[in-house]
Structure 1
């Protein structure tokens, strides 16, 4: 019995040393430029750029497979920041990418049937609810990606623009028509812990 315990202890020690050596010898380091690009992206994980999230898009930019003007939630600010980071001239706006004002999802709880389709679609888990019970949005967690809109069978989810307060306010662009300016902010209730 004691020999078996000693044998297993010795084997555990040998395998532990081998794994420790392999971890040091065969270490794969991430690309620091990918991390810097990813830090500049808005982290909405919306997929509007054609990639399944911000990290894969950052990897594609670093590899030269994607242009830096594909992020709709980031808009022109993100394009300029990425151009500065990469030492490029900011490209012209992509006509296929429509920049939208920041928004948060709102669920009409009277209409919600509790189907959980929006729960499954939300990439940041900003929706609370369970099957056959009404759902609600955690406003602080919602990135405004709009991925919850298409799967909703009863159209009970609406996007409400964020703005009007000091942290989200910016000078209007004089080249835009008044009709193109975002609508006034609508205050939303946030889930309290």
Structure 2
């Protein structure tokens, strides 16, 4: 079983736009509530997530961010990643990968690796992009997953993420040179 990936899906149609937004909100809330490190601490609702999605959509409208969506066999939003271009003139040769998510019901099916491969392939198609950089929350095992996908840890900020009182996590910085992927 594989996901079907779309880079820069349309939000314009009356049918597709609301369904895609609702699918993204539901995915983000479900991943967060399952313990996924995607910017929230459970419990959250899709309405809690909406302001963050709107920020991402605004960045997409400005051309700074691209969206990669994976749909499952039923056509439901099953995975996402946001690819954000650098605006600093000295850092335009790499991009950020944000909000990497696979729905909890699909964990263990290899969809995460499919998503990471699709993100790398999409980045290779962007003129001048030589690497992907991401950060992840320490203590979740995400760094091991990204390492298995070819990313290398290039930095770590101890205790930079405060999940809750007395629960500080490292911010792990990882890089994938696209020539090596």
Measured against the shorter chain, the TM-score band is: under 0.3
TM-score (ref. length: structure 2): 0.26
TM-score (norm 1): 0.25
Return the structure number with greater relative CO, CA threshold 8 A, min gap 6.
2
Higher strand content, 1 or 2: 2
Larger Rg: 1
